[in-house]
Amino acid sequence: MNKIVIGITDGRLYENYADWITQPGNVELVRLGYRYSNAEEMKRCNGLFMTGGEDIHPRFYNKKEYVEQYGLSDFDEKRDEFEINLLKHWQESKVPLLGVCRGLQLVNVFLGGTLIPDLPSFGKFNHSRKQKDPRYHPVEVDPNSKLYSMVRATSGEVTSVHHQGIDRIATGLVTNAITADGVIEGVEWLNPTGKTPMVLVQWHPEAFADKESPFAKNIREHFIELIQVNP
């Protein structure tokens, strides 16, 4: 099997994401980040993996007032700017994209959507990390969605390590997975015809205790398959 090259965004717990996505054994990674000034390396990548990390600064979705209103401080605006530029390269390259947690949120913002700045402030408490371990909660999957064709389940338990989430979904996207308290856990193209393939989930497939869970393993396998059929 030919080796594929995946661009992966630099950030917290980078090695966790890197170890998970390279498990098939035929993957070469390009670590993309503003510290390396290497957005142009997207040109040699067969896929893009946008990982989790800091909050996205609300100025990128025209809600600067959220910073003071919700006491937000966990930002890296240089990362935001770099990765938004990276998404412009992605649009041009048309390679498959996988977005996890912050990755999903940034794609939504890039395409014109907005975010909930702090889920507990909106009465949604069951999403942040529990001490050092991920929290798990149920998720419901739309049986008519592309996501369902990946996981082959209408419900399951997923990891949750976030305090922000999608508020207004970007035009052209549609929700494919949701929690009982109404938090969006996955989105996909409303009409995928002619669109660049992408997989966007709020949970952390790289952090599952059950490595065989279809909500973890199948996400990675589908992304790799997308790359192999879209060289």
Domains, in order of start, for the chain: 4-229 (3.40.50.880)
Is residue 204 among the annotated active site residues? yes
The per-residue pLDDT for 131 is 47
The structure tokens 């949701």 sit at: 178
Provide φ and ψ at 63, rounded to 5°: -135, 50
Q: To which H or E segment does residue 19 belong? A: helix 14-21
Q: Which residues of the chain have pLDDT under 70?
A: 1, 122-133, 231
Choose the catalytic residue: 127, 163, 204, 222: 204
| Phi-psi map region of 153: left, alpha, beta (phi>0 left; psi -120 to 50 alpha) | beta
Provide φ and ψ at 174, rounded to 5°: -145, 145
The per-residue pLDDT for 127 is 52
Reported as a single tens digit per residue, the pLDDT across 173-218 is: 999 999 988 899 999 999 999 899 999 999 999 999 999 999 999 9
Question: Burial of 229 by CB count in 10 Å (0-12 exposed, 13-18 middle, 19+ buried)?
Answer: exposed
Provide φ and ψ at 27, rounded to 5°: -120, 130
The per-residue pLDDT for 6 is 98
Task: Report which residue type is found at 81.
Answer: E
Rg of the chain over all Cα atoms, to the nearest angstrom: 16
Choose the catalytic residue: 101, 127, 188, 222: 101
Q: To which H or E segment does residue 82 belong? A: helix 77-93
